[in-house]
A and B are shown apart, each in its own frame.
Chain A
Amino acid sequence: MKAEEKNTELVVSAFHDALERTPIEKTRVCMVSDIPFPPRLIRPLGVDFFHTTRGRAIPFATGMKLGNPKLKVVVFIGDLVTLGGNHFVHAGRRNMDILIICVNDSIYTRIAGEELPVKLERIRFSSYGSFEESFNIPHLANSCGAVYIARWTALHKEELSGSISYALQKNGFSLIDVLSQKSDILEFYHTNSEVREEEDTNNVAITEDKKIIVGKFIDRQRPTFIDSYNKQLSRVMGDKFVKIEV
Protein backbone atom coordinates (compact mmCIF):
# COMPACT_ATOMS: atom_id res chain seq x y z
CA MET A 1 0.00 0.00 0.00
CA LYS A 2 1.28 3.42 -0.91
CA ALA A 3 1.82 5.76 2.01
CA GLU A 4 -0.61 8.33 0.59
CA GLU A 5 -3.50 5.85 0.50
CA LYS A 6 -6.11 6.65 3.07
CA ASN A 7 -6.06 4.56 6.17
CA THR A 8 -9.77 3.94 5.76
CA GLU A 9 -8.73 1.54 3.03
CA LEU A 10 -6.69 -0.41 5.53
CA VAL A 11 -9.93 -1.00 7.39
CA VAL A 12 -11.59 -2.45 4.31
CA SER A 13 -8.54 -4.57 3.76
CA ALA A 14 -8.75 -5.90 7.32
CA PHE A 15 -12.41 -6.70 6.66
CA HIS A 16 -11.37 -8.61 3.56
CA ASP A 17 -8.90 -10.70 5.56
CA ALA A 18 -11.52 -11.34 8.22
CA LEU A 19 -14.00 -12.55 5.62
CA GLU A 20 -11.44 -14.94 4.22
CA ARG A 21 -10.66 -16.54 7.54
CA THR A 22 -14.17 -16.68 9.02
CA PRO A 23 -16.36 -19.74 8.38
CA ILE A 24 -19.29 -17.65 7.12
CA GLU A 25 -21.11 -17.67 3.78
CA LYS A 26 -20.08 -14.50 2.00
CA THR A 27 -23.45 -14.23 0.28
CA ARG A 28 -25.01 -13.78 3.71
CA VAL A 29 -22.84 -10.78 4.51
CA CYS A 30 -24.14 -7.32 3.60
CA MET A 31 -22.11 -4.16 3.95
CA VAL A 32 -24.01 -0.97 4.68
CA SER A 33 -22.11 2.29 4.75
CA ASP A 34 -22.51 6.03 4.64
CA ILE A 35 -19.02 6.27 3.20
CA PRO A 36 -19.09 6.15 -0.62
CA PHE A 37 -16.32 3.57 -0.98
CA PRO A 38 -15.23 3.23 -4.62
CA PRO A 39 -16.05 0.03 -6.52
CA ARG A 40 -12.41 -1.07 -6.75
CA LEU A 41 -12.27 -1.46 -2.96
CA ILE A 42 -15.60 -3.19 -2.59
CA ARG A 43 -15.93 -5.58 -5.49
CA PRO A 44 -13.06 -7.85 -4.41
CA LEU A 45 -14.84 -8.45 -1.11
CA GLY A 46 -17.61 -10.44 -2.78
CA VAL A 47 -20.41 -9.08 -0.59
CA ASP A 48 -23.45 -6.88 -1.23
CA PHE A 49 -22.72 -3.21 -0.59
CA PHE A 50 -25.28 -0.51 0.14
CA HIS A 51 -24.60 3.16 0.49
CA THR A 52 -26.96 5.31 2.55
CA THR A 53 -27.35 8.92 3.56
CA ARG A 54 -24.95 10.22 6.14
CA GLY A 55 -25.45 8.84 9.61
CA ARG A 56 -28.40 6.63 8.68
CA ALA A 57 -26.53 3.43 8.02
CA ILE A 58 -27.65 1.95 11.33
CA PRO A 59 -31.44 2.16 10.81
CA PHE A 60 -30.93 1.05 7.19
CA ALA A 61 -29.05 -1.98 8.51
CA THR A 62 -31.83 -2.55 11.06
CA GLY A 63 -34.40 -2.65 8.27
CA MET A 64 -32.24 -4.98 6.23
CA LYS A 65 -31.68 -7.36 9.13
CA LEU A 66 -35.36 -7.42 10.03
CA GLY A 67 -36.29 -7.79 6.36
CA ASN A 68 -34.15 -10.90 6.04
CA PRO A 69 -32.94 -12.14 9.43
CA LYS A 70 -30.59 -14.64 7.81
CA LEU A 71 -28.32 -11.84 6.62
CA LYS A 72 -25.26 -10.81 8.61
CA VAL A 73 -25.21 -7.05 8.33
CA VAL A 74 -21.97 -5.13 8.80
CA VAL A 75 -22.15 -1.36 9.06
CA PHE A 76 -19.14 0.74 8.06
CA ILE A 77 -20.03 4.06 9.48
CA GLY A 78 -18.06 7.27 9.30
CA ASP A 79 -20.58 9.38 11.11
CA LEU A 80 -21.39 7.21 14.11
CA VAL A 81 -22.23 9.84 16.65
CA THR A 82 -22.84 13.12 14.89
CA LEU A 83 -25.91 12.51 12.74
CA GLY A 84 -26.10 8.89 13.70
CA GLY A 85 -25.91 9.18 17.50
CA ASN A 86 -29.55 8.54 18.19
CA HIS A 87 -29.73 5.51 15.94
CA PHE A 88 -26.63 4.12 17.61
CA VAL A 89 -28.10 4.46 21.11
CA HIS A 90 -31.40 2.85 20.23
CA ALA A 91 -30.04 0.01 18.13
CA GLY A 92 -27.77 -0.78 21.07
CA ARG A 93 -30.65 -0.74 23.52
CA ARG A 94 -32.60 -3.13 21.31
CA ASN A 95 -29.48 -5.27 20.81
CA MET A 96 -30.03 -5.33 17.06
CA ASP A 97 -27.84 -8.05 15.60
CA ILE A 98 -25.51 -5.86 13.52
CA LEU A 99 -21.77 -5.33 13.58
CA ILE A 100 -20.65 -1.72 13.45
CA ILE A 101 -17.19 -0.82 12.30
CA CYS A 102 -16.72 2.82 13.05
CA VAL A 103 -14.24 4.26 10.58
CA ASN A 104 -13.19 6.92 13.02
CA ASP A 105 -11.20 9.63 11.34
CA SER A 106 -12.01 12.36 13.81
CA ILE A 107 -9.35 14.96 13.94
CA TYR A 108 -7.42 14.88 17.16
CA THR A 109 -4.78 17.51 17.26
CA ARG A 110 -3.04 16.54 20.43
CA ILE A 111 -2.70 13.12 21.99
CA ALA A 112 -0.38 12.00 24.73
CA GLY A 113 1.19 15.42 24.76
CA GLU A 114 2.32 15.19 21.18
CA GLU A 115 1.13 17.20 18.25
CA LEU A 116 -0.23 15.00 15.52
CA PRO A 117 1.53 15.46 12.23
CA VAL A 118 -1.74 16.34 10.53
CA LYS A 119 -1.33 18.89 7.79
CA LEU A 120 -3.09 22.11 8.73
CA GLU A 121 -4.70 22.56 5.30
CA ARG A 122 -6.81 19.54 6.03
CA ILE A 123 -8.45 21.18 9.00
CA ARG A 124 -8.92 24.61 7.58
CA PHE A 125 -12.05 25.21 9.55
CA SER A 126 -10.30 24.91 12.86
CA SER A 127 -6.79 26.08 12.20
CA TYR A 128 -6.88 27.40 15.74
CA GLY A 129 -7.75 23.94 17.03
CA SER A 130 -11.07 22.69 18.33
CA PHE A 131 -12.37 23.12 21.85
CA GLU A 132 -15.18 20.62 22.13
CA GLU A 133 -14.68 17.37 23.95
CA SER A 134 -15.45 14.31 21.93
CA PHE A 135 -17.41 11.26 23.04
CA ASN A 136 -15.85 8.32 24.74
CA ILE A 137 -17.40 6.03 22.15
CA PRO A 138 -16.69 2.67 23.82
CA HIS A 139 -18.20 3.99 27.07
CA LEU A 140 -21.29 5.27 25.30
CA ALA A 141 -21.67 1.92 23.56
CA ASN A 142 -21.29 0.14 26.88
CA SER A 143 -24.02 2.23 28.49
CA CYS A 144 -26.32 1.37 25.58
CA GLY A 145 -25.79 -2.33 26.04
CA ALA A 146 -23.45 -3.35 23.21
CA VAL A 147 -22.33 -6.97 23.56
CA TYR A 148 -18.91 -6.63 21.95
CA ILE A 149 -16.78 -3.49 22.05
CA ALA A 150 -13.25 -3.19 20.77
CA ARG A 151 -10.97 -0.44 19.56
CA TRP A 152 -8.01 -0.70 17.23
CA THR A 153 -6.06 1.70 15.08
CA ALA A 154 -5.46 1.30 11.38
CA LEU A 155 -2.01 0.11 12.38
CA HIS A 156 -3.29 -2.94 14.27
CA LYS A 157 -4.48 -4.61 11.09
CA GLU A 158 -3.98 -8.15 12.32
CA GLU A 159 -5.80 -7.62 15.60
CA LEU A 160 -8.55 -5.71 13.80
CA SER A 161 -9.04 -8.59 11.43
CA GLY A 162 -9.26 -10.95 14.38
CA SER A 163 -11.84 -8.77 16.09
CA ILE A 164 -13.97 -8.53 12.96
CA SER A 165 -13.78 -12.26 12.45
CA TYR A 166 -14.88 -12.93 16.03
CA ALA A 167 -17.68 -10.37 15.91
CA LEU A 168 -19.01 -11.75 12.61
CA GLN A 169 -19.79 -14.96 14.44
CA LYS A 170 -21.32 -13.25 17.47
CA ASN A 171 -24.98 -12.35 17.77
CA GLY A 172 -25.91 -8.92 18.99
CA PHE A 173 -24.94 -5.28 18.73
CA SER A 174 -21.19 -5.12 18.29
CA LEU A 175 -18.94 -2.13 17.84
CA ILE A 176 -15.36 -1.93 16.67
CA ASP A 177 -13.99 1.60 16.83
CA VAL A 178 -11.16 1.91 14.31
CA LEU A 179 -8.99 4.98 14.48
CA SER A 180 -7.96 5.76 10.96
CA GLN A 181 -7.16 9.35 10.29
CA LYS A 182 -6.64 10.46 6.76
CA SER A 183 -2.94 10.96 6.97
CA ASP A 184 0.29 9.15 7.12
CA ILE A 185 0.43 8.59 10.84
CA LEU A 186 0.85 4.87 11.28
CA GLU A 187 4.18 5.65 12.91
CA PHE A 188 2.36 7.90 15.35
CA TYR A 189 -0.13 5.19 16.26
CA HIS A 190 2.78 2.85 16.83
CA THR A 191 4.36 5.04 19.51
CA ASN A 192 1.19 6.37 21.07
CA SER A 193 -1.19 3.51 21.49
CA GLU A 194 -1.29 0.88 24.17
CA VAL A 195 -3.09 -2.44 24.17
CA ARG A 196 -5.12 -3.01 27.31
CA GLU A 197 -7.57 -5.87 27.04
CA GLU A 198 -10.78 -5.63 29.10
CA GLU A 199 -10.07 -2.12 30.31
CA ASP A 200 -12.97 -0.37 32.00
CA THR A 201 -14.63 1.72 29.31
CA ASN A 202 -14.79 4.67 31.68
CA ASN A 203 -11.06 5.08 31.22
CA VAL A 204 -10.66 4.80 27.47
CA ALA A 205 -11.55 8.33 26.42
CA ILE A 206 -9.02 9.81 24.00
CA THR A 207 -7.46 12.72 25.83
CA GLU A 208 -4.39 14.85 25.56
CA ASP A 209 -2.61 13.44 28.53
CA LYS A 210 -2.45 9.73 27.86
CA LYS A 211 -1.84 7.19 25.15
CA ILE A 212 -4.67 5.82 23.03
CA ILE A 213 -5.97 2.68 24.67
CA VAL A 214 -6.88 -0.11 22.29
CA GLY A 215 -8.02 -3.68 22.75
CA LYS A 216 -11.16 -5.68 23.32
CA PHE A 217 -13.12 -4.09 26.16
CA ILE A 218 -16.47 -5.87 26.36
CA ASP A 219 -17.57 -9.35 25.32
CA ARG A 220 -20.88 -10.53 26.75
CA GLN A 221 -24.20 -12.11 25.88
CA ARG A 222 -27.65 -10.54 25.76
CA PRO A 223 -30.79 -11.68 23.92
CA THR A 224 -31.03 -9.95 20.54
CA PHE A 225 -34.08 -8.06 19.28
CA ILE A 226 -35.27 -11.08 17.33
CA ASP A 227 -34.66 -13.42 20.28
CA SER A 228 -36.72 -11.17 22.57
CA TYR A 229 -39.45 -10.84 19.94
CA ASN A 230 -39.67 -14.59 19.45
CA LYS A 231 -39.73 -15.25 23.18
CA GLN A 232 -42.39 -12.66 23.99
CA LEU A 233 -44.73 -13.58 21.17
CA SER A 234 -44.40 -17.31 21.74
CA ARG A 235 -45.33 -16.74 25.34
CA VAL A 236 -48.41 -14.72 24.43
CA MET A 237 -49.57 -16.46 21.24
CA GLY A 238 -48.45 -20.00 21.97
CA ASP A 239 -48.29 -22.39 19.04
CA LYS A 240 -50.03 -19.94 16.71
CA PHE A 241 -46.86 -17.88 16.48
CA VAL A 242 -44.28 -18.79 13.83
CA LYS A 243 -40.82 -17.89 15.11
CA ILE A 244 -38.48 -15.77 13.04
CA GLU A 245 -35.57 -17.91 11.91
CA VAL A 246 -32.14 -16.35 12.01
Chain B
Amino acid sequence: MEASKTLTIEKEQRHPMDELLRMDRIPHIWCPGCGIGAAVSAFAAALEKLEFDLDKVCVVSGIGCTGRVAGYIKLDSFHTTHGRAIPFATGIKLGNPDLKVVVFSGDGDLVSIGGNHFIHAARRNIDMVVICVNNFIYAMTGGQVAPTTPIPAYTTTSPFGNFEPPSNIPRLAEAAGAVYVARWTALHLRRLTESIVEAFQRPGFSVVEVISPCSMYYSRINKLGEGIDMLRFYHDNAIIRHGEPTENLDIDYQKQIIIGRFVDRERPTFMDSYRKWLSGAESISKEKVDEKN
Protein backbone atom coordinates (compact mmCIF):
# COMPACT_ATOMS: atom_id res chain seq x y z
CA MET B 1 0.00 0.00 0.00
CA GLU B 2 2.75 2.41 0.95
CA ALA B 3 4.65 1.68 -2.24
CA SER B 4 1.81 2.64 -4.56
CA LYS B 5 1.21 5.89 -2.68
CA THR B 6 4.81 6.99 -3.27
CA LEU B 7 4.50 6.09 -6.93
CA THR B 8 1.43 8.27 -7.38
CA ILE B 9 3.10 11.25 -5.75
CA GLU B 10 6.13 10.89 -8.00
CA LYS B 11 3.95 10.85 -11.10
CA GLU B 12 2.20 14.06 -10.11
CA GLN B 13 5.52 15.77 -9.66
CA ARG B 14 6.65 15.19 -13.19
CA HIS B 15 6.39 18.21 -15.45
CA PRO B 16 4.58 17.90 -18.80
CA MET B 17 7.71 19.06 -20.62
CA ASP B 18 10.02 16.48 -19.00
CA GLU B 19 9.88 14.19 -22.03
CA LEU B 20 11.25 16.91 -24.22
CA LEU B 21 13.96 18.28 -21.95
CA ARG B 22 17.35 16.94 -21.03
CA MET B 23 16.53 16.80 -17.34
CA ASP B 24 20.11 15.97 -16.37
CA ARG B 25 21.11 19.44 -17.57
CA ILE B 26 18.42 21.31 -15.68
CA PRO B 27 18.80 23.83 -13.94
CA HIS B 28 19.59 25.81 -17.07
CA ILE B 29 21.90 28.81 -17.28
CA TRP B 30 19.35 31.45 -18.26
CA CYS B 31 18.85 34.38 -15.91
CA PRO B 32 15.73 34.95 -13.86
CA GLY B 33 13.40 37.06 -15.96
CA CYS B 34 14.76 35.83 -19.31
CA GLY B 35 12.23 35.07 -22.01
CA ILE B 36 14.09 32.23 -23.73
CA GLY B 37 12.66 29.61 -21.40
CA ALA B 38 9.18 30.76 -22.31
CA ALA B 39 9.99 30.37 -26.01
CA VAL B 40 11.23 26.84 -25.34
CA SER B 41 7.99 26.02 -23.51
CA ALA B 42 5.94 27.28 -26.43
CA PHE B 43 8.05 25.18 -28.77
CA ALA B 44 7.51 22.09 -26.62
CA ALA B 45 3.78 22.71 -26.54
CA ALA B 46 3.75 23.12 -30.32
CA LEU B 47 5.58 19.83 -30.83
CA GLU B 48 3.05 18.11 -28.62
CA LYS B 49 0.16 19.50 -30.69
CA LEU B 50 1.80 18.52 -33.97
CA GLU B 51 2.31 14.93 -32.83
CA PHE B 52 5.48 14.54 -34.89
CA ASP B 53 7.69 11.49 -34.65
CA LEU B 54 10.17 13.15 -32.33
CA ASP B 55 13.01 11.02 -33.67
CA LYS B 56 12.68 12.90 -36.90
CA VAL B 57 12.90 16.42 -35.51
CA CYS B 58 16.30 18.16 -35.28
CA VAL B 59 17.09 21.32 -33.36
CA VAL B 60 20.04 23.43 -34.47
CA SER B 61 21.34 26.38 -32.46
CA GLY B 62 24.12 28.89 -32.85
CA ILE B 63 26.07 30.77 -30.20
CA GLY B 64 24.58 33.05 -27.61
CA CYS B 65 22.01 32.81 -24.87
CA THR B 66 19.36 31.47 -27.23
CA GLY B 67 22.03 29.29 -28.76
CA ARG B 68 21.99 27.22 -25.60
CA VAL B 69 18.50 25.95 -26.41
CA ALA B 70 19.77 22.97 -28.38
CA GLY B 71 21.54 21.74 -25.28
CA TYR B 72 18.37 21.57 -23.21
CA ILE B 73 15.99 20.01 -25.71
CA LYS B 74 15.90 16.23 -25.97
CA LEU B 75 15.82 15.85 -29.70
CA ASP B 76 18.74 15.45 -32.08
CA SER B 77 20.36 18.70 -31.01
CA PHE B 78 23.21 20.50 -32.64
CA HIS B 79 25.04 23.38 -31.04
CA THR B 80 27.05 24.82 -33.92
CA THR B 81 29.35 27.78 -34.53
CA HIS B 82 28.31 31.41 -34.42
CA GLY B 83 26.00 32.35 -37.25
CA ARG B 84 26.17 29.01 -39.01
CA ALA B 85 23.08 27.32 -37.62
CA ILE B 86 21.18 27.86 -40.85
CA PRO B 87 23.73 26.36 -43.26
CA PHE B 88 24.21 23.48 -40.83
CA ALA B 89 20.44 22.94 -40.77
CA THR B 90 20.37 23.21 -44.58
CA GLY B 91 22.86 20.38 -44.73
CA ILE B 92 20.77 18.23 -42.43
CA LYS B 93 17.63 18.88 -44.46
CA LEU B 94 19.26 18.18 -47.81
CA GLY B 95 21.03 15.16 -46.41
CA ASN B 96 17.75 13.66 -45.28
CA PRO B 97 14.67 15.55 -46.51
CA ASP B 98 12.41 13.45 -44.26
CA LEU B 99 13.76 15.18 -41.16
CA LYS B 100 12.02 18.24 -39.74
CA VAL B 101 14.57 20.90 -38.95
CA VAL B 102 14.14 23.82 -36.60
CA VAL B 103 16.75 26.52 -36.07
CA PHE B 104 16.48 28.09 -32.63
CA SER B 105 18.82 31.02 -32.23
CA GLY B 106 19.11 34.68 -31.28
CA ASP B 107 18.96 37.95 -33.16
CA GLY B 108 22.74 38.48 -33.16
CA ASP B 109 23.47 34.95 -34.31
CA LEU B 110 20.84 34.88 -37.05
CA VAL B 111 20.79 38.42 -38.39
CA SER B 112 24.26 39.78 -37.68
CA ILE B 113 26.94 37.23 -38.40
CA GLY B 114 24.40 34.80 -39.82
CA GLY B 115 22.65 37.39 -41.94
CA ASN B 116 23.96 36.14 -45.24
CA HIS B 117 22.86 32.59 -44.54
CA PHE B 118 19.49 33.89 -43.39
CA ILE B 119 18.71 35.72 -46.62
CA HIS B 120 19.99 32.94 -48.86
CA ALA B 121 18.05 30.21 -47.09
CA ALA B 122 14.95 32.40 -47.43
CA ARG B 123 15.65 32.95 -51.12
CA ARG B 124 16.05 29.25 -51.73
CA ASN B 125 13.00 28.59 -49.59
CA ILE B 126 14.64 25.73 -47.73
CA ASP B 127 12.03 23.88 -45.71
CA MET B 128 12.83 24.80 -42.12
CA VAL B 129 11.41 26.72 -39.17
CA VAL B 130 13.52 29.50 -37.73
CA ILE B 131 12.66 30.66 -34.22
CA CYS B 132 14.54 33.90 -33.63
CA VAL B 133 14.54 35.12 -30.04
CA ASN B 134 15.12 38.85 -30.20
CA ASN B 135 16.29 40.48 -26.98
CA PHE B 136 17.88 43.52 -28.71
CA ILE B 137 21.35 42.82 -27.33
CA TYR B 138 24.32 40.45 -27.31
CA ALA B 139 23.65 39.04 -23.89
CA MET B 140 25.97 36.04 -23.63
CA THR B 141 29.08 38.12 -24.26
CA GLY B 142 28.09 40.78 -21.75
CA GLY B 143 25.59 43.18 -23.28
CA GLN B 144 27.00 44.63 -26.50
CA VAL B 145 24.95 46.41 -29.13
CA ALA B 146 23.12 44.23 -31.63
CA PRO B 147 21.76 45.03 -35.09
CA THR B 148 18.31 45.00 -33.49
CA THR B 149 19.09 47.42 -30.67
CA PRO B 150 16.72 50.41 -30.91
CA ILE B 151 17.90 54.02 -30.94
CA PRO B 152 19.07 55.37 -28.43
CA ALA B 153 19.39 52.39 -26.07
CA TYR B 154 22.53 51.99 -23.99
CA THR B 155 24.69 48.89 -24.28
CA THR B 156 28.32 48.25 -23.40
CA THR B 157 29.49 49.06 -26.93
CA SER B 158 27.11 51.96 -27.35
CA PRO B 159 27.94 53.76 -24.12
CA PHE B 160 26.66 57.04 -25.56
CA GLY B 161 23.44 55.47 -26.77
CA ASN B 162 22.93 53.49 -29.96
CA PHE B 163 22.64 55.58 -33.12
CA GLU B 164 22.47 52.90 -35.82
CA PRO B 165 19.03 52.13 -37.24
CA PRO B 166 18.04 48.62 -36.24
CA SER B 167 17.20 45.73 -38.54
CA ASN B 168 13.57 44.88 -39.02
CA ILE B 169 13.66 41.10 -39.02
CA PRO B 170 10.21 40.42 -40.53
CA ARG B 171 10.92 42.88 -43.34
CA LEU B 172 14.28 41.31 -44.10
CA ALA B 173 12.76 37.84 -44.10
CA GLU B 174 9.97 38.89 -46.44
CA ALA B 175 12.22 40.73 -48.88
CA ALA B 176 14.50 37.70 -49.01
CA GLY B 177 11.62 35.35 -49.79
CA ALA B 178 10.39 33.70 -46.57
CA VAL B 179 6.93 32.15 -46.91
CA TYR B 180 5.71 32.52 -43.32
CA VAL B 181 6.72 35.37 -41.03
CA ALA B 182 5.26 36.08 -37.60
CA ARG B 183 6.26 38.02 -34.52
CA TRP B 184 5.14 37.45 -30.92
CA THR B 185 6.55 38.22 -27.51
CA ALA B 186 7.56 36.05 -24.57
CA LEU B 187 4.25 37.06 -23.02
CA HIS B 188 1.98 35.87 -25.82
CA LEU B 189 2.78 32.22 -25.37
CA ARG B 190 -0.48 30.70 -26.54
CA ARG B 191 -0.34 32.56 -29.84
CA LEU B 192 3.36 31.83 -30.16
CA THR B 193 2.61 28.12 -29.83
CA GLU B 194 -0.04 28.37 -32.56
CA SER B 195 2.40 30.23 -34.79
CA ILE B 196 5.08 27.61 -34.35
CA VAL B 197 2.51 24.95 -35.28
CA GLU B 198 1.61 26.92 -38.41
CA ALA B 199 5.26 27.47 -39.26
CA PHE B 200 5.88 23.74 -39.18
CA GLN B 201 2.84 23.11 -41.33
CA ARG B 202 3.94 25.51 -44.07
CA PRO B 203 6.42 24.01 -46.52
CA GLY B 204 9.34 26.35 -46.96
CA PHE B 205 11.33 28.89 -44.97
CA SER B 206 9.30 30.10 -41.96
CA VAL B 207 10.45 32.68 -39.44
CA VAL B 208 8.92 33.26 -36.01
CA GLU B 209 10.41 36.20 -34.13
CA VAL B 210 9.99 36.16 -30.33
CA ILE B 211 10.55 39.49 -28.55
CA SER B 212 12.09 38.62 -25.22
CA PRO B 213 13.20 40.49 -22.11
CA CYS B 214 16.84 40.44 -21.12
CA SER B 215 16.79 41.21 -17.44
CA MET B 216 20.53 40.97 -16.90
CA TYR B 217 21.65 43.38 -19.62
CA TYR B 218 19.16 45.18 -21.84
CA SER B 219 16.60 46.15 -19.26
CA ARG B 220 19.13 46.56 -16.45
CA ILE B 221 21.53 48.83 -18.37
CA ASN B 222 18.62 50.91 -19.64
CA LYS B 223 16.90 50.96 -16.24
CA LEU B 224 13.76 49.38 -17.60
CA GLY B 225 13.25 47.06 -14.64
CA GLU B 226 13.36 43.29 -14.58
CA GLY B 227 11.89 40.60 -16.78
CA ILE B 228 8.44 40.98 -15.28
CA ASP B 229 8.49 44.73 -15.94
CA MET B 230 9.31 44.09 -19.58
CA LEU B 231 6.45 41.60 -19.82
CA ARG B 232 4.13 44.24 -18.39
CA PHE B 233 5.44 46.61 -21.02
CA TYR B 234 4.66 44.10 -23.77
CA HIS B 235 1.18 43.66 -22.30
CA ASP B 236 0.50 47.37 -22.46
CA ASN B 237 2.27 48.16 -25.72
CA ALA B 238 2.07 45.19 -28.04
CA ILE B 239 -0.66 45.45 -30.68
CA ILE B 240 -1.79 42.52 -32.76
CA ARG B 241 -2.16 43.42 -36.41
CA HIS B 242 -2.17 40.40 -38.68
CA GLY B 243 -1.09 41.06 -42.25
CA GLU B 244 0.54 44.40 -41.44
CA PRO B 245 2.97 45.45 -44.21
CA THR B 246 6.43 44.60 -42.95
CA GLU B 247 7.85 48.07 -43.57
CA ASN B 248 5.72 49.27 -40.64
CA LEU B 249 7.20 46.78 -38.21
CA ASP B 250 10.27 48.76 -37.05
CA ILE B 251 10.66 48.58 -33.30
CA ASP B 252 11.35 51.95 -31.71
CA TYR B 253 12.71 52.28 -28.21
CA GLN B 254 10.02 51.67 -25.62
CA LYS B 255 7.23 52.34 -28.09
CA GLN B 256 4.44 50.25 -29.48
CA ILE B 257 5.40 46.82 -30.83
CA ILE B 258 3.27 45.40 -33.63
CA ILE B 259 2.91 41.64 -33.42
CA GLY B 260 1.01 39.06 -35.37
CA ARG B 261 1.22 36.98 -38.51
CA PHE B 262 2.53 39.09 -41.37
CA VAL B 263 3.45 36.86 -44.27
CA ASP B 264 1.81 33.62 -45.29
CA ARG B 265 2.33 32.76 -48.92
CA GLU B 266 3.37 29.96 -51.22
CA ARG B 267 6.53 29.50 -53.20
CA PRO B 268 8.08 26.32 -54.54
CA THR B 269 10.50 24.99 -51.95
CA PHE B 270 14.13 24.24 -52.72
CA MET B 271 13.45 20.51 -52.88
CA ASP B 272 10.46 21.02 -55.22
CA SER B 273 12.56 23.09 -57.62
CA TYR B 274 15.44 20.65 -57.32
CA ARG B 275 13.29 17.62 -58.10
CA LYS B 276 11.76 19.37 -61.09
CA TRP B 277 15.20 20.32 -62.39
CA LEU B 278 16.48 16.80 -61.75
CA SER B 279 13.79 15.18 -63.85
CA GLY B 280 14.54 17.67 -66.63
CA ALA B 281 18.26 16.99 -66.35
CA GLU B 282 17.73 13.28 -66.32
CA SER B 283 15.74 13.39 -69.52
CA ILE B 284 18.39 15.59 -71.20
CA SER B 285 21.17 13.23 -70.20
CA LYS B 286 19.08 10.27 -71.26
CA GLU B 287 18.73 11.87 -74.68
CA LYS B 288 22.48 12.35 -74.88
CA VAL B 289 23.07 8.72 -73.99
CA ASP B 290 20.51 7.65 -76.60
CA GLU B 291 22.19 9.87 -79.18
CA LYS B 292 25.51 8.22 -78.59
CA ASN B 293 24.06 4.75 -79.09
> Does a CB–CB distance below 8 Å link A and B in the complex?
yes
Chain A interface (Cβ < 8 Å from any Cβ of B) = 81, 83-86, 89-90, 93-95, 128-136, 139-140, 142-145, 222, 225, 228-229, 231-233, 235-237
Docked CA distance A139–B112 (Å): 20
B93: Cβ under 8 A from any A Cβ: no
**Is the Cβ of A134 less than 8 Å from the Cβ of B164?**
no
**Is the Cβ of B115 less than 8 Å from the Cβ of A89?**
yes
**Is the Cβ of A140 less than 8 Å from the Cβ of B163?**
no
Number of A-B contacts (CB under 8 A): 94
Docked CA distance A236–B276 (Å): 58
User: B107-124: contact bitstring with A at CB < 8 Å (1 yes, 0 no)?
Assistant: 000001111100110011
Given known A-B contacts A128-B281, A140-B176, A93 and B166 have beta carbons under 8 A apart:
yes
**Is the Cβ of B177 less than 8 Å from the Cβ of A86?**
no
**Is the Cβ of A132 less than 8 Å from the Cβ of B280?**
no
**Is the Cβ of A132 less than 8 Å from the Cβ of B147?**
no
Docked CA distance A83–B115 (Å): 11
Interchain Cβ contacts under 8 Å between A and B, 26 examples? A85-B116, A85-B119, A86-B115, A89-B116, A89-B119, A89-B172, A90-B115, A93-B147, A93-B166, A94-B164, A95-B165, A128-B277, A128-B285, A131-B273, A131-B276, A132-B270, A132-B273, A133-B123, A133-B267, A134-B123, A135-B119, A135-B123, A136-B175, A139-B175, A140-B176, A231-B163
Q: How far is the CB of A123 from chain B (nearest CB, A)?
A: 14
Q: How far is the CB of A194 from chain B (nearest CB, A)?
A: 23
What A residues does B246 contact at CB under 8 A? 143
CB < 8 Å: which of B115, B247, B284 contacts A128?
A: B284
* Interface of chain B residues 103 through 148 with chain A (CB within 8 A): 112-116, 119-120, 123-125, 147
Docked CA distance A233–B174 (Å): 34
Docked CA distance A145–B167 (Å): 10
Docked CA distance A123–B138 (Å): 43
Of the candidates B160, B270, B276, the one having the most CB atoms from chain A within 10 angstroms of its own CB is B160
**Is the Cβ of A140 less than 8 Å from the Cβ of B175?**
yes
Docked CA distance A33–B47 (Å): 48
Docked CA distance A13–B285 (Å): 42
Given known A-B contacts A90-B115, A129-B277, A143-B247, A229 and B166 have beta carbons under 8 A apart:
no
Closest residue of A by beta carbon distance from B125: A133
Q: How far is the CB of A161 from chain B (nearest CB, A)?
A: 29
Closest residue of A by beta carbon distance from B168: A143
**Is the Cβ of B163 less than 8 Å from the Cβ of A132?**
no
Given known A-B contacts A143-B171, A144-B172, A232 and B152 have beta carbons under 8 A apart:
yes
